[in-house]
Amino acid sequence: MEPAVLLSFGTSNLEWEDWLSRLRLLSKDHGVGMVVDVRSIPHSKRHPWFDGPTLRQSLNRSGFDYWYLGQSLGGRPRSRSLYHSEGHASFERIRATDVFQSALTKLIDATKKIPSVMICGEEDPLECHRGLMISPALVQKGATVLHIRRGNRVETTAEFEDRMMRSAGIEPTQGNLFDFPGESTNLQAAYEWFNRRMAFRFDPDFVLEP
């Protein structure tokens, strides 16, 4: 059986018609029929066309399905236990939860039926939990992840991880094999480096106990 292929695409600061045009190209080139929203808070004050309810209606009118999974796959957990002592959300702890793993399995199964693209706010997956937290978990489960960049350029997971390691100042060719998405302990270090710098930080007004 062919592996599930998930596309990753940021809303960025695009106007609605520009973003929809790019989505239609993804539909033409990759067969995309469903948009999976992985934002913890599907709201944009500056770009109201990306608000969850509005986005759902607009996508449905344009022939796309919309599925909100931010409550399970979002990068802003409500539980204090999912935050590192340094204050940032721990992607490793979030990935280990039953809620995350269950949603991930459902996403992979759904994508095999309807080619899908997961969306969040940032254009660059290096600045977003969809690239740093969700994508490696998908790869662990045998899925293929392709990041859609400006101009609908495709960045493969290998290209993404190579860029991530170089951005973290880590040599991609070094390290030993280990049981983590990718090839080396250096890659794990790069994921952790970006986790510390890009993850949502503890906010007592947002986080619930325990």
Confidence of residue 178 (pLDDT cuts 50, 70, 90): very low
pLDDT in tens, 104-128: 999 999 999 999 999 999 999 999 9
pLDDT of residue 2: 77
Residue ranges covered by each domain of the chain: 5-156
pLDDT in tens, 22-68: 999 999 999 999 999 999 999 998 999 999 999 999 999 999 999 99
pLDDT of residue 173: 54
The DSSP line for 86-112 is: TSBB-HHHHHTSHHHHHHHHHHHHHHH
Architecture of domain 5-156: 3-Layer(aba) Sandwich (3.40)
Predicted model pTM: 0.92
Residue 142 neighbours by CB distance under 10 Å = 10
